[in-house]
């Protein structure tokens, strides 16, 4: 017997950008080893526990099959559990978001599935369909342990380092820095698989939607913070280590038409301030800090503090990873020392 939906449920369905019938088939295909079947029935109260989402949200986005037994999502996942708890609390506080939170988080079995759903919604357009993106993201993320690890380390980085990130849910649902970074990770896998045209198509959509342009061939480590993300440009041969924080407007670019290895290499734990431009195949040492609006054209030593156009060493950073403390400024005494040194003509103020 065909399932009938109320007018309210149909109105809810119209508010979500993924087409109802197409997404149902996509979800069904994942649940049945690649074979689609008819529209699944709405979730029962036993499926959703005591939380009555089955009454307010239509059937689609019920979730995918669970990942393989060796997947991170099959073990106890403290971040995913926290995400679900946060989503339930938010739905209680803002009932108008209940459908959105159910579709994006509470209908899924693991962080990978929820992230794929969110990214597909954000990046779809009339010719790059949400169902196609959903299939692609699911296929890549559920079969790549490196991405499964990175999406958790990245979301932890956002929560720990960005005071505007109130919860894991905030990063997963709303922060385009996080969205662009995870979309890049999928494009990077596709690039390495030889699917370069699709990878470049994703790069183009990421740039259009999020204002972040990361070449899919670039290499980016784990535990990365793209704070705001707007205007970030990362070139094809750029390499970024682990635990790096980049503010908005950062450019890791080349210096002209040269080919080959031509983009910056950023070491672990570095902190790159807003609107910093780093050009050429230069190395930014581990734990270095580059002040906002600086122009870097030469190698930067480990734990150096750089500022200016062109940037010069103005001191050294005590912390092992300034990216974790997010302290962009030095002490008042330090800048007084630099100012006096400049007046007296001592180089670099040290």
DSSP 261-319: S-S-EE-TT-EE-TT-EEESS-EE-TT-EE-TT-EE-S-B-TTEEEEETTEEEEEE--S
Give the pLDDT of residue 318.
81
Classify residue 103 by its DSSP letter.
I
- pLDDT over threshold 80, residue 244: yes
List the one residue out of 254, 220, 257, 218 whose CA is nearest residue 238: 218
The values of phi and psi at residue 157, to 5°, are -65, -45
Once rounded to an integer, what is the mean pLDDT over residues 262-268?
A: 96
Query: 82-118: string of b/e by CB count within 10 Å (b at 16+)?
Result: ebbebbbebbeeeeeebbbbbbbbbbbbbbbbbbbbb
Once rounded to an integer, what is the mean pLDDT over residues 50-63?
A: 36
CB 145 within 8 A of CB 68: no
- pLDDT over threshold 80, residue 198: yes
CB 232 within 8 A of CB 224: no
- pLDDT over threshold 90, residue 332: no
pTM: 0.76
Predicted confidence band of residue 113 (pLDDT cuts 50, 70, 90): very high
Classified as helix, coil or strand, 87 is helix
Query: CA 237 to CA 259: how far, in whole Å?
Result: 10
CB 174 within 8 A of CB 155: no
Query: CA 142 to CA 116: how far, in whole Å?
Result: 10
- pLDDT over threshold 70, residue 148: yes
Give the pLDDT of residue 333.
53
Predicted confidence band of residue 324 (pLDDT cuts 50, 70, 90): confident
Tell me the pLDDT tens digit for each residue of 272-293.
999 999 999 999 999 999 999 9
């Amino acid at each position: 017997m065909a399932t009938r939906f109320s007018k309210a449920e149909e109105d809810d369905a119209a508010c979500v950008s993924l087409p109802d019938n197409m997404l149902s088939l996509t979800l069904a295909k994942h649940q049945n080893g690649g074979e689609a079947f008819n529209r699944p029935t709405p979730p029962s109260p036993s499926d959703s526990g005591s939380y009555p989402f089955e009454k307010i949200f239509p059937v689609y986005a019920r979730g995918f099959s669970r990942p393989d037994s060796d997947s991170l999502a099959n073990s106890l996942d403290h971040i995913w559990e926290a995400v679900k708890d946060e989503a339930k609390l938010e739905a209680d506080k803002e009932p108008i978001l209940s459908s959105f939170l159910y579709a994006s988080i509470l209908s899924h079995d693991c962080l990978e599935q929820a992230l794929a759903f969110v990214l597909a919604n954000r990046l779809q357009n009339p010719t790059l369909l949400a169902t196609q993106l959903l299939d692609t993201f699911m296929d890549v993320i559920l079969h790549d342990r490196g991405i499964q690890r990175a999406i958790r380390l990245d979301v932890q980085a956002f929560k720990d380092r960005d005071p505007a990130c109130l919860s894991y849910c905030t990063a997963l649902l709303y922060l385009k820095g996080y969205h662009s970074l995870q979309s890049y990770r999928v494009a990077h896998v596709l690039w390495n698989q030889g699917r370069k045209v699709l990878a470049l198509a994703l790069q183009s959509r990421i740039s259009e939607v999020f204002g972040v342009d990361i070449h899919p061939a670039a290499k980016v480590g784990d535990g990365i913070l793209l704070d705001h993300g707007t205007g970030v440009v990362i070139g094809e041969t750029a390499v970024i280590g682990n635990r790096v924080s980049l503010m908005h407007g950062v450019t890791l670019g080349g210096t002209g038409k040269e080919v080959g290895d031509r983009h910056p290499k950023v070491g672990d734990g570095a902190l790159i301030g807003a609107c910093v431009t780093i050009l050429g195949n230069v190395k930014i040492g581990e734990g270095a800090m580059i002040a906002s609006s600086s122009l870097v054209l030469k190698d930067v030593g480990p734990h150096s503090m750089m500022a200016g156009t062109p940037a010069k060493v103005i001191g050294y950073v005590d912390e092992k990873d300034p990216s974790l403390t997010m302290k962009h400024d030095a002490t008042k005494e330090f800048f007084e020392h630099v100012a006096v040194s400049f007046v007296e003509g001592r180089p670099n103020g040290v």
